[in-house]
A and B are shown apart, each in its own frame.
Chain A
Amino acid sequence: MQELLTITFVLQTLRITIPYLLPSLGAVYSEKGGVVNIALEGILLSGAFAAAAGTYYTGNVLFGILCGVIAGILISLIHSIITITFKANQIVSGIALNIFAFGFTKFFCKILFGSSSNSERIPGLETLNLPFNPFLLICVLILAVTYFVIYKTKFGLRLRAVGENPEAADSLGINVNSIRYIGVLISGALGGLGGAWLAMDQHSFTDGMSAGRGYIALAAMIIGKWNPLGAAAACLLFGLAESFTLQFQDSGIPTQFIQLLPYVLTIIVLAGFIGKANPPAADGIPYDKKD
């Protein structure tokens, strides 16, 4: 028990939680507006790569992080154009973007760094092991802002409206498509930021380093019932579980069983065993305006 309470353990848990939390909050923005964003996996990966490349070429960590965010926004922009403007299937678009991002990052990793599996070492963030590192504070701030924006602002109300009942929102003069665009783009920015964190934390980019975190982020959002605070709690739970296995590697619990925890929980929540899972009513359905 003593070992659980050490500062290292707490920091390790938070370190693991951050790259779940950021895309998970992103997923909330996207899905509240009615767009399923499976592309978060590819967004994380692209964010990590862009952050590593940006930092490597300028030596400036902040610029690198900005590159990561921009990369995330670009991928989510493609997702929005295809699914909102052209109304194509959101799931297929997301999967295609994940395949694309996986190939694209490896391709340019090879071109820029001479190896398709990892980049050169980058400065990254050295403050990560301090108890009060700025990144962590920013994450908490983003969580609070997300909650506030979605439940207390006019934009949040509109976002929820276009996700629940786009026809009604439309008849009230809300531009359904542009609100949905904003939701998906914010999710891309947050996903890209999460990816940047991965690269900064590891001081390099490695191929496929998102390692399913985009999907876990989606799972956390579902377990958290499409609520930012719920999603954050689920992310923290996953972070704790993972940190626990790292701490007690010889505890006899196979790591694979901890790994599948988020996924099993998601299925249980969706089946309605833990209260009712209520996704936005128009989640996943393109809005086709009837003229």
Chain B
Amino acid sequence: MNGKLANLCWESKEDNLVRLNKYIIYTTGPVISIILSLVIGGVLIAVIGQDPFEVYIKLFGETLGNTYGIGQVLFKATPLILTGLSVAFAFRAGLFNIGAEGQLTVGAFASAWAGFTFVSLPWIILIPLCVLAGFLAGAFWAGIAGYLKARFGSHEVINTIMLNFIALAVVSYLVNNVYMVPATIHTPEISPNAVLLRFDIITGLFKGSPFNLSFIIALAACFVIYFLIQKTPFGYRIKTLGFNANAAEYAKMNVKKLTISAMAITGGLAGLGGLNFVNGYKHYFELGFSENAGYVGIAVALIARNNPFAIVVIAVFFGILEYGGLTVNTLVPKEIVTILQGVIILLIITFTKIFDKKIKLKKA
């Protein structure tokens, strides 16, 4: 299963025509799926007696029609870029990370913890510390699944799912029983020196939206991962592992060590996703902040075919849906976008299968 998923991923060394063809096929499935899901959503909207066109015009108009809306969309997209990248990196290594949700949760808590514990540090040290804390916590959490796979051969799919719930229970204990500020449901506020500034404060643009500097961190992560995978020996080993674990073994690669480090990087990326909410928006940690970003990240990675730059585009699209739901809430329940998300994923995995089969048949 994982080998096949890794095979779908984006490759760099192909001639341009083949590449163009591939891109056309790779985008056709998602485009059809998105259109079809909007149609299905439209039918639902019509069923409850609203005008689908009015709803969709409002949804896209209020998200993309003004800078506040765009800021909100990019804010929502930021954690999705990181969780999408996390899942995509795992796919490249032939691993399936369903644990981004848990890694995101422990990462966000760790970033907050660093921010409210080392309050006296100057920003130039404290901000990197928060970033590092989020990365390391996520890396440790996914590293457990990596270790279990390397040491006992137990499958990372089930283990990362289980670790999601364990993360939730552990962090819930830490928040509720150890760090909670009385009469609230969140941790203490982080030091002002740990705050990732909002773009509206820095530039005056995106007035009023919580869009903040963690977006830059997410973009930087995409570049780093692209570079790591395409240009370094480590990336080459990761790809080899993803294509064929046995081949990696024959090539005298340390598959166990590689598996653990791949899982750790995967988890670290998801762990960074908490910065957006904690250091960029609320300045404290509270449960339920993630809004399923870890699971939606799986969809982002699949649709983007694990390409780091396509991930940004797809994350922004999901950002439009997430914020768009809030803008149309007066016309239809905002859960319409949750339904759309689910339907899009279902259609895309189905169409991908159909199209990939066509490609295979052509080749044969």
Contacts and interface: CB of A to CB of B under 8 A. Distances in A.
B261 interface: no
Interface residues of B, number: 49
A95 B339 contact: no
Interface stretch (B159-167, B192-200, B223-231, B248-256): B159-167
A71 B326 CA distance: 28
B48 A111 contact: yes
Contact of A78 (B161, B338, B346): B346
B70 interface: no
Contact of B346 (A82, A259, A285): A82
Interface stretch (A97-105, A146-154, A162-170): A97-105
Interface in B335-364: 335-343, 345-346, 349-350, 352-354
A263 B162 contact: yes
A254 B165 CA distance: 15
A264 B354 CA distance: 38
Nearest to A272: B152
B55 to A, nearest CB: 13
A86 B350 contact: yes
A118 to B, nearest CB: 14
Interface stretch (B108-116, B119-127, B292-300): B292-300
Interface stretch (B72-80, B169-177, B208-216, B275-283): B169-177
B337 A89 contact: no
B64 interface: no
Contact of B345 (A96, A256, A266): A96
Contacts, number: 140
A88 B162 contact: no
B353 A91 contact: no
Nearest to B2: A89
Given A100-B339, A103-B342, A111-B333, A285 B170 contact: no
Q: Which of B96, B161, B172, B352 has the most CB of A within 10 A?
A: B161
Given A107-B333, A111-B333, A270-B148, A257 B1 contact: no
Contact of B338 (A95, A99, A219, A271): A99
B6 to A, nearest CB: 12
Given A256-B170, A259-B169, A266-B158, A107 B346 contact: no
B5 interface: yes
A87 interface: yes
Interface string A261-286: 00110110011100001000000110
B169 A260 contact: yes
Contact of B353 (A88, A107, A111): A88
Nearest to B178: A254
A111 B49 CA distance: 10
A92 B8 CA distance: 15
Contacts of A95: 98, 295, 298, 345
A251 to B, nearest CB: 14
Interface in A102-131: 102-104, 106-107, 110-111, 116
B178 to A, nearest CB: 10
A284 B355 CA distance: 21
Nearest to A261: B169
B266 to A, nearest CB: 16
B299 A96 contact: yes
A215 B148 contact: no
B173 A254 contact: yes
Contact of B148 (A89, A218, A271, A277): A271
B337 A103 contact: yes
B165 A93 contact: no
B39 interface: no
A277 B259 CA distance: 22
Interface string B1-20: 10001000000000000000
Nearest to A78: B346
Nearest to A106: B335
A82 B349 contact: yes
Nearest to A102: B338
Contact of A107 (B295, B339, B354): B339
Contact of A272 (B154, B338, B353): B154
B310 interface: no
Contacts of A100: 338-339, 341-343, 346
Nearest to A111: B48
A212 interface: yes
Given A99-B345, A103-B342, A267-B148, A92 B169 contact: no
Interface string B174-188: 001100000000000
B302 interface: yes
7 contacts: A38-B161, A82-B346, A88-B350, A96-B342, A102-B335, A270-B148, A271-B152
3 closest A-B pairs (Cβ-Cβ)?
A: A103-B338, A100-B342, A96-B345
